[in-house]
Amino acid sequence: MFREGTNSEENMGNLFCCVQVDQSKVAIKEKFGRFVEVLEPGCHCLPWFLGHQIAGHLSLRLQQLDVRCETKTKDNVFVNVVASIQYRALADKADDAFYKLTNTRSQIQAYVFDVIRASVPKLNLDAAFEQKNEIAKAVEEELEKAMSAYGYEIVQTLIVDIEPDEHVKRAMNEINAAARMRVAANEKAEAEKILQIKRAEGEAESKYLSGLGIARQRQAIVDGLRDSVLGFSVNVPGTTAKDVMDMVLVTQYFDTMKEIGASSKSSAVFIPHGPGSVRDVASQIRDGLLQGSHQ
């Protein structure tokens, strides 16, 4: 009676005292139920009438086992850790791999559970994500030490995923979003601050330049009036500075009246408009200037 891996073709081959072993496999040969040797890929003579038989076949190909383990972190967050174990049987220890274990995948899964549930509870959730490689290394070392005695080699161990509870993931996303919004608000406030500072600096510079322009304008007016008074006094003998200033004030008065009348947006302004009023305005301006100079 054959174990796992036998089929009708092998039974037919045994009738002719020969058996074929496929590539990437080995066959376990027994004699009267006792292990004899490991048959390599190829065709082998199997005198069944002398008690020889094939107990089964063992694949040497790389196999993968995905293990999902639920545990909790140091900060009491339950997570599902998904580990991917890549392993294969060793050709020189094929008899141990065939006889010592009845269910290889269950055995590996038990070791993975043990290591993960001993490692993850020592870490906070963030640390568990950051130290995935360390967890995988601990699982691989424990499996390598345990499974080498059974004829198996652990090729690679990967922690492919750490899944917290859905509510925890939603909370983590909200925390991350709030932090990013806070950073964005700070950046926006800094930008507005810079704009206000630049705007204030621009206004200050504008007012400064406007003041310079007004000062230069007034200086030019004073210089022009002085030159006009001096020129008029020289060209018209007998006139005084007072006469010239009265004439200038009359001219300015009529220019002002002209501008007020020409402006379409001007409001109603009530001012004296007779010639005698010009004299009153001139005397008021002159008295104001003299009073300011005396003070």
Q: What is the pLDDT of residue 4?
A: 42
* Bridge partners, residue 164, by sequence: 79
Taking the C-alpha atoms of residue 248 and residue 263, their distance in angstroms, rounded to an integer, is 23
Query: Angle 52-55-57 (CA atoms, 0-180°, nearest 5)?
Result: 125
The residue type at 220: A
Q: Extract the tokens encoding 273.
A: 């408009």
Q: What is the pLDDT of residue 5?
A: 43
Taking the C-alpha atoms of residue 99 and residue 58, their distance in angstroms, rounded to an integer, is 11
Query: Angle 60-66-72 (CA atoms, 0-180°, nearest 5)?
Result: 145
Q: What is the pTM of this model?
A: 0.53
Q: What is the pLDDT of residue 88?
A: 92
Q: Extract the tokens encoding 263.
A: 């402006």
Report mean pLDDT in 10-residue bins for the chain, 295 residues.
44 63 89 87 84 88 92 88 92 89 88 90 88 90 88 91 81 79 86 89 88 82 73 69 68 72 63 63 64 55
| Phi and psi, residue 41, nearest 5° | -60, 135
Q: What is the pLDDT of residue 32?
A: 87
Q: What is the pLDDT of residue 1?
A: 31
Q: What is the pLDDT of residue 230?
A: 73
Give the residue among 196, 81, 73, 216 at the shortest CA–CA distance from 139. 81
Going by DSSP bridges, is the β-strand pair 63-72/52-59 parallel, antiparallel, or unpaired? unpaired
Q: What is the pLDDT of residue 128?
A: 87
